[in-house]
Amino acid sequence: MSHIVRKPDWAVVDLDTVGGRVFCQQRWQYEWLVVPPARGWTYAERRAFHHALDSQVWGIWSNRILLRTEGTNDFCRTHPTVEVEFDIRWVLSNPHWSVDVRKMPPGSNPTTFISNVEPSKGQIHLDTADLASYRPQNAAGERRTFRALPHEFGHTMENPDEYVARSPHLVDTDSIMNIGRQIRERHVRLLLAELDRMIDHCRFTFGGPAVRRISRGPKVDARSSSSSAASLSPAASKSPPPPDDTADDSRTWFEVKVLDEVGEPVAGLDVTFAVGANAKATTGGNGVARVADVKTSSSFGSMTVTSAARAKEILAPRWTTARDQKLTEGAIVRPVGTSIDSVPVEAEKTIVVHLVPPTQDWIEIEVFDGDDKPIVNQPFLLVLSDGSERRGSTDDVGLIRVTQIPSGPCKVNFPEIEKYAKQ
């Protein structure tokens, strides 16, 4: 037998007796909640949340500890140590854990809603602001850079908080159940208890941190009945799975939405994604450029505008009239100069990019007539320091406001008034 599997109520624990590895997988069923004014979850957002959560938990918990085997049987002889992978599987039924996730409004931070786990009820309460790292302080006054979700995962193995004054482990600041990132023997005692029931005359003990740092590689379905050698082949490498068993491959997509400084889509722009291999795409009428069916083991990459000159060609005509910029919150802003800096992208997430004129200055002019009355809705021509021109009209209180112009002196003309004056 190559796999021994135990199914306590908190996870599936799978020991690969050939490869000498332990896979501990939890089935999580999400309920997607919204905290106004945040808007409803899109499917892409749900996938992105699960993906980020699974990656963070994997990064802190998997391949970080070594277990030692003690005993007289063959397995102990051939595998004196084993490593452990922890995995969260998004399921639509039969979960180990029911997980509600609050989509938080902009401006929320990890302490806006305090995530928590109720092991006796099999319930976990999370929020999207917890994806960010922050620097909490424990009851001993220590601070560390910390992420909440891998800590909450620790609670699923019945580990209490250690950052509180009543904890005997308060001084162990670097512990994951305190405000650190490290796993201790006490944190995996439930796992050790399950393993100890698997093989006669074989005991598992905590052997300390794993010496190697292993980057995220192939993930193996703990329930897989195939042999570990086959499962660990590069072909089995995949991004975290979509819910249940609907798909099981490493294909994913990346997408950017390119807008100008007033939020209008920039169509017909060639862009290059560096995601695994390079992939080219062109923005459509809605400003969206997408590369689908990308095979990559990483969910992160970058996008560059293929030709800055071409971007300028498309955008410069729009910049001949004065326009007030309306940038989308959270969007990435790139001035269109001789080159355009690349933009970080994430799989299965639409990244909004604003291409704006290369300089950031602005001017405001109030226009009055001889009686100190504002001159409203009056066409103007602004000649900028670089000789380029902007046209527009004074607003209903006689104000001209022009943003995104080159620094330096400029001249304002009122063609209609001058025409009238000349007559």
Residues in contact with Zn ion by CB under 5 A are: 161
Q: Which is nearer to Zn ion, 83 or 161 (CB)?
A: 161
Residue closer to Zn ion by CB (options 14, 161) is: 161
Find the shortest distance in angstroms from Cβ 116 to Zn ion.
Answer: 7
Q: What's the CA gap between 252 and 204, in Å, rounded?
A: 38
> In whole angstroms, how far apart are CA 19 and each of 81, 125, 211, 214, 299?
11, 35, 18, 16, 27
Tokens 């062109």 correspond to 282
Closest CB 35 distance from Zn ion, rounded Å:
20
**Rg of the chain (C-alpha set):** 29
Nearest distance in Å: CB 99, Zn ion:
15
Shortest CB 164 distance to Zn ion, Å: 9
Q: Give 340: exposed, middle or buried? Use CB within 10 Å, 0-12, 13-18, 19+.
A: buried
Q: How far is the CB of 151 from Zn ion (least distance, A)?
A: 5
What CA–CA distance (Å, rounded) separates 283 from 310?
Answer: 13
Q: Which is nearer to Zn ion, 97 or 204 (CB)?
A: 97
CB–CB of 97/31 below 8 Å? no
- Give 5: exposed, middle or buried? Use CB within 10 Å, 0-12, 13-18, 19+: middle
- Phi then psi for 60, rounded to 5 degrees? -85, -35
**Cβ proximity to Zn ion, 108 vs 115, nearer residue:** 115
**Residues 287, 315: Cα–Cα separation, whole Å:** 13
By C-alpha distance, which of 335, 279, 284 is closest to 311?
A: 335
CB 8 within 8 A of CB 194: yes
Amino acid identity, position 110:
P
Which residue's CB is nearer to Zn ion, number 161 or number 172? 161
Q: What is the 3-state secondary structure (H, E, C) of 203-246?
A: EEEEEEECCCCCCCCCCCCCCCCCCHHHHCCHHHCCCCCCCCCC
**Nearest residue to the partner Zn ion, using Cβ:** 161
Cβ atoms of 131 and 52 within 8 Å: the answer is yes
Residue closer to Zn ion, measured from CB, 87 or 161: 161
Kindly tell me which of 147 and 323 has the beta carbon lying closer to Zn ion: 147
In the bound state with Zn ion, the residue whose beta carbon lies nearer, of 116 and 278, is: 116
Closest to Zn ion by CB, 137 vs 407, is 137
> Which residue type is seen at 23?
F
- Looking up tokens 């950031």 gives 360
Q: What does the block give as tokens for 165?
A: 């004054």
> For residues 55 and 138, which CB has a smaller minimum distance to Zn ion in the complex?
138
CB 404 within 8 A of CB 360: yes
Does residue 99 sit in helix, strand or coil? strand
